Amino acid sequence: MKFPSSTTFALLGAALIAISYGLARFAFGLFVPPIREDLALTPYMVGVIGALPLLSFALANLVAPLASVRLGARNTAMLSGAFGATGLGLISQASGAVSLGLGVVACGICTGLMMPALTAAMQALVDRSVHGRVSSVMNAGTSIGVAVSVPTVLFLAGEWRYTYMVFAALAVIGVIATWSFIPSVSRVTPANAALPPISVMQWWRLFRLSLFAFAMGFVSSAYWIFAPDLASTLGSLSAGDTGWLWLGVGIAGLGGAVVADLADRNNPPITQALMLMMLASSLALLAASPGQLVIAVFSALVFGLAYMSLTGLYLMTGIRLLPGRLSMGPVLPFMAVSLGQAAGSPVVGLLVDVAGYADAFAVFSAVGILVALLSPLYPRYIDHQEEEDVEEETGLQAAYDYQLQDEEGDPLSQPSEEERPE
């Protein structure tokens, strides 16, 4: 099998992420209004069901690095796609809460397996000098997938079962593309790369990072699960109108990689505070004017930029905090985001049942503002080094370059042509 070029791999990875993250995970909130009406679900039941894929994502994410090594990158990615196709198919045929829950659980497993599999393939197949660029392109797949789901609502309003059947077909195509283009390889680590010990300070900083990630996931769950339902219930917007919210989230989310890169170059705590304030304001904007389509779409733009920027920032910080341990550094904060969303989803559903959408979103907005005020506690990942040792290179690529270290803690040089897979 001929190995794909870096560009081909990046585009394929973005497409697979678009399916596994955009369609199998985040598109669900867009279809909550018709699903809730057809299946006679209460907001609390929707909140509980919305939490299930986040829990299955976290569990799948735990075993994904081992699966990538034992099964190989291609087989793990194909397994992810199979879960996605199954889950999306089950959702399309759901007759109640149980069958719908089984479908979203399978979709969560799909999401949890895909990125580690693609990362393992990237490390083995793609030149380390472009890891940052390839990762940025693949991460953009989430926003692309969210945006792609919009036309189905605009032109197939109410036909959510047919839409999910189309999503399942796309997942099957993704499995075929994975088999065709991704070799069955696992992560390749140079023999002279050291596995550095994790200090108490590093654990403490990773714990603080995970707390912030959990809190962000908790706050964002209100928008991901209930924003379209709020707009249609309080604002009387049609299903087609609420689709524009997800288009706004997807388009603005594409700018998240740029913001995260700028944060790495400047001040991560300040960037996190700003993005969390934007996240909180997006909830307040939507709750205050759910019937004004322009304001609702603007809130979606703010939310998309803030959410994708924060996840990119957490990814960058996790990589920086644990050099030499790529399978752990970014994984823990991403799991924390999902666990926060899993915790927040039923809570916001319960608040909607008790107090209504406006008050529920106001409470979650206030939590976001409170967490933003605590941002000075956000972990810094270079201030513990001596001034002469501070890295001058910043950005996602520099974070990847710093992962492989020798026994003295210095970054390994780029592999020679003979060391790269043929």
According to DSSP, the residues that pair with 411 across neighbouring strands are 405
Q: In residues, how long is the chain?
A: 422
CATH topology (fold) of 1-188: Growth Hormone; Chain: A; (1.20.1250)
CB 337 within 8 A of CB 216: yes
Rg of the chain, C-alpha, whole Å: 21
Equal fold, 1-188 vs 191-382+393-402: yes
More confident residue, 336 or 197: 336
pLDDT, position 264: 63
In a 3-state reduction of DSSP, which class is residue 194?
strand
Here the tokens at position 138 are: 């693949």
Q: Which CATH class name applies to 191-382+393-402? A: mainly alpha
Instruction: Give me the mean pLDDT over the 9-17 stretch.
Output: 91
pLDDT digits (tens, 9 = 90+) for 251-284: 888 877 677 667 666 788 888 999 999 999 999 9
416 Cβ neighbours under 8 A, 6+ residues apart: none
What residue segments make up the domains of the chain, in order of their start?
1-188, 191-382+393-402
43 Cβ neighbours under 8 A, 6+ residues apart: 36, 226, 229, 349, 350, 352, 353
Q: Dump the DSSP string for 254-295.
A: TTHHHHHHHHHHS-HHHHHHHHHHHHHHHHHHHHH-TT-HHH
Report d(CA 20, CA 171) in Å as an integer: 8
Report d(CA 180, CA 323) in Å as an integer: 33
Evaluate if residue 186 carries a pLDDT over 70: no
pLDDT, position 365: 95
Predicted TM-score (pTM) of the model is 0.78
pLDDT digits (tens, 9 = 90+) for 20-43: 998 998 888 888 888 988 999 998
Range with top average pLDDT, 59-68, 115-124, 364-373: 364-373
Burial of 217 (0-12, 13-18, 19+ CB in 10 A): buried
Exposure string for 234-246, b = 16+ CB within 10 A, e = fewer: bbebbbebbbbbb
